[in-house]
Amino acid sequence: MDYFGDETVTVQGKKWKWKTFKTTEGYPVSNNLLDWVIGQERALNECYLCLEEWVHKLKHLEKEEWYEAWKDPNKEKPNTTKTAPPGPYLLLLGDPGTGKSLIGRALAAHLTELYKKQKIQLQDVICWQNEIIPSEPKISSHPAGEGKNLIFKEKLKETKKLFLQRVGVKALTYLMIIVASIFMFAGFYYLWGQKVQWDENLAGGFGIPIQEVYGGDFTKYILDAFVSIGTTTFLPAGMMLMFLILVVVLGRFGMMGGAKGVGGAKATTVPKLIVDNSKKVAPFIDSTGHGSAQLFGSIAWDPLQTGGLGTPEHQRVTVGDVHRAHMGIIFIDEIKNLKPAEAVTLLTVLEDGQLPVTLRSRWDEGNTAAMAVATEPIPCMCFLVGAGNFDSIGQIHPALMDRIYGYGKVVRMNNDMPNSMENRRKYVQFIAQEVERFHLIPFSRDACREIVDEGRRRSNKRDRLTTRFRPMISIIKTAATLAILEGCGTVEKRHVVDSIEKHCKTIQKQILEHQISERGKLLDIRPEGARLGQIYGLAVVSDPYSGEMTGNVLTVKGFLDKRDNGKNNHLKGYYKVTGIAKGGKERFITDSVAKVRSVILQKYGADIAQDFFTHIDFAQAYGIDGPSAGVTMTILLCSLIEGKPIRQDVAVTGEINVGVDGEVPVTAVGGLHEKIKAAEAWGFKRVIIPAKNYKHSIDPQDYHIEVVASETLEGYLKECLVD
């Protein structure tokens, strides 16, 4: 059967011929994110169970009229613990890149469909001003979409009220301007009359002419007239004008109802829409790495609040992720990083389904008006999807972990899936998805096959494919970029190979390979001919933090001299291995050294530590550890005892074990792919590995070097020793 099969199947309503397809162009990609999840069928089934339980819980709340109790902001809010049981929650544990966050987003889309099917309405949440106790804003909850309508109605009411106020203020202003103008006109009119009297020199008091009374000083006369006239005309007009100027200035700076405070909010009694689900799509809130204020909300601080001139309390309420995820999904990756206080508060949310908003910040104490503000409980009935690596099990807050175990499910994400025809087709689907997502050019059939083969190699199993897709995305993008730079219309196999071997190695692997390359210039490795007392073994060098590995070739030399050869009878038996890790209870190489001695005793009846002067040296190496050097040392000693040279174009690896029934077994070791690639890079013609490794994880078609498998020491000797 062909690699991808020979059937014609229907994918997303379109026929796709697996036998004859040449590129991924035209492959129908689903719009449902759940279809994008590959290799995690068990995890998805557990997720579906949790969602069904979640929907059942919400339906129960509907029967209990829990939603109705939140509609009126002036009514007492329900006690959730009496009406709704806790849970369910979901914790996804697995290696990075296995699709945990993708599952979280996909579940939100699936939850929206379930809500439509079960006729469950999402909710908007509104924060109202508390006229009696302003520091305790009130809360109400309404079916999705009604929140905006309520806010619009309240804004319309306030707009009408402000309009009438402004009309009244303007009418009063114009009236005052008219009255002030009349007073001003009257004042100037009377002053003009006084000027006329002066010019005509009319008689004043006691019948004496005015000019004689003031001695001809007009300035003194007019000042006296201004004082007497101004108290009844100019003074009232000036006071009116000053009042008008004050009103204009206060209005300009927002002191008359137009003040803008925190976030541009006006000093208004209009309620604030704090949770908006008008799109009627189940919310998905990614809270990874968020702190306490982001998770659980906070009260904004206003520098003018202490003086009563700032933003009203209900306008300064900012809800957290748990409130915005009400009736939706809140996703927290690396959930082990939650601080203890945050984990405890999250427990309250999960248990009660409601949480008031109060001041939260990085400071434990402070002296601001915001500290006195705390809302009524705000509904936050959210479905928790936590994620982490396997080390999260012992690092999550114990109380939180206990709730997840008790009321939810902990699901292990698969690192690989069977290397079946169905899953190889899913790899093609994965490639088509990424091509569409990143707007790449299509991949040829051979390029798809090479990516599938790389997925098999990365699983370290012959019959499995890796489900750690994030590193595979990098390969796909890089291969497509290489093809585009060449002006190709499709991505070919050579582009994928170049992407894997030259461009998509992690920095840890790059560093390791650089170190090995630099050290290799000083090594004496010549894979040709046959030599007595020298063998090449294979090992891996690992990065302690990332686990990345690269292969290494070890030159192992040996010296063996029998005590009774007449030259050194005075020497005691001696068995020494140099270049290996010393000390410590976890040194695997120590066990290998001991087993080599026992195997040689079983095979030849000679004790290399008593009957011989024995020295094995891992030349130009230091700190070699692990069980895979056991067969290397054993073959070296067999060569010396039998006097048969060892082929130098052969490299070996495997764990030696004490024999039973005359056979010495060689068992499986790790890092085979990296070891074989290292031997291939050095120019060896053949590599011998344990049969279990060959059967379980190695496909010889991946290499240009001959890979030979053997179960026993005899098989290794047959391939290595030269008669």
Instruction: Concatenate the DSSP letters of all residues of 304-365 into one string.
Output: TTTTT-S--GGGGEE--HHHHTTTSEEEESSGGG--HHHHHHHHHHHHHSEE--B---S-S-
**Model confidence pLDDT, tens digit, residues 321-335:** 999 999 999 999 989
- Mean pLDDT of the region 140-165: 87
Q: Residue 221: what pLDDT? A: 77
Strand duo 317-318 + 90-93: pairing: unpaired
- Mean pLDDT of the region 683-696: 92
Cis peptide before 88 (omega within 30 of 0): yes
88 has a pLDDT exceeding 50: yes
258 has a pLDDT exceeding 90: no
* Backbone torsions φ then ψ of 537, nearest 5 degrees: -110, 165
What whole-number percentage of the chain has pLDDT above 70? 90
Kindly report which listed range (16-25, 291-300, 303-312) carries the lowest average pLDDT score: 303-312
What is the rounded distance in angstroms from the CA atom of residue 587 to the CA atom of residue 667? 18
Q: Residue 653: what pLDDT? A: 94
512 has a pLDDT exceeding 70: no
Strand duo 329-332 + 284-286: pairing: parallel
Mean pLDDT comparison of 219-233, 333-347, 427-441, 514-528, highest-scoring range: 427-441
Catalytic residue among 141, 675, 677, 697: 675
300 has a pLDDT exceeding 70: yes
Kindly report which listed range (86-95, 230-239, 486-495) carries the lowest average pLDDT score: 230-239
CA angle 610, 612, 618 (to 5 degrees): 110
215 has a pLDDT exceeding 80: no
How would residue 390 be classed by pLDDT, with cut points 50, 70 and 90? confident
Q: Residue 263: what pLDDT? A: 45
516 has a pLDDT exceeding 50: yes
Residue of higher predicted confidence among 287 and 258: 287
Which pTM does this prediction carry? 0.75
Q: Residue 246: what pLDDT? A: 78
| Average pLDDT value for the chain | 84
Kindly report which listed range (209-223, 317-331, 634-648) carries the lowest average pLDDT score: 209-223
- Mean pLDDT of the region 301-308: 60
**Model confidence pLDDT, tens digit, residues 574-623:** 888 888 877 655 467 888 888 999 998 998 888 888 888 899 998 877 67
Catalytic residue among 292, 392, 628, 710: 628
440 has a pLDDT exceeding 90: yes
Question: Does the annotation count 420 as an active-site position?
Answer: no
256 has a pLDDT exceeding 60: no
Q: Residue 264: what pLDDT? A: 46
Q: Residue 418: what pLDDT? A: 92
Beta bridge partners of 411: 92
Q: Residue 552: what pLDDT? A: 85
Q: Residue 316: what pLDDT? A: 86
- Mean pLDDT of the region 186-203: 78
**Model confidence pLDDT, tens digit, residues 495-505:** 999 999 889 88
Q: Residue 329: what pLDDT? A: 93
Q: Where are the beta strands (DSSP E) in 131-179?
A: 138-143
What is the rounded distance in angstroms from the CA atom of residue 551 to the CA atom of residue 677? 7
Q: Residue 649: what pLDDT? A: 94
Q: Residue 138: what pLDDT? A: 92
Buried/exposed 78-110: b ≥16 CB within 10 Å, e otherwise? bebeeebebbbbbbbbbbebbbbbbbbbbbbbb
Encoding tokens for residue 141? 């909850």
What is the rounded distance in angstroms from the CA atom of residue 316 to the CA atom of residue 683? 71
Question: Does the annotation count 675 as an active-site position?
Answer: yes
- Mean pLDDT of the region 280-308: 81
In the numeric block, the tokens 């790389």 are attached to 454
Q: Residue 584: what pLDDT? A: 58
Kindly report which listed range (1-5, 16-20, 94-98, 512-516) carries the lowest average pLDDT score: 512-516
| CA dihedral angle for residue 314, residue 320, residue 321, residue 322, rounded to 10 degrees | -90
- Find out whether 36 and 26 touch, Cβ atoms under 8 Å: no
- Mean pLDDT of the region 90-118: 88
Residue of higher predicted confidence among 586 and 476: 476
Name residues whose C-beta falls within 8 Å of residue 166's C-beta, 6 or more positions apart in sequence. none
How would residue 717 be classed by pLDDT, with cut points 50, 70 and 90? very high
680 has a pLDDT exceeding 80: yes
Name residues whose C-beta falls within 8 Å of residue 703's C-beta, 6 or more positions apart in sequence. 676, 677, 680
**Model confidence pLDDT, tens digit, residues 344-377:** 889 888 888 888 988 775 554 445 555 678 888 8
- Residue 558: which H helix or E strand, with range? strand 549-562
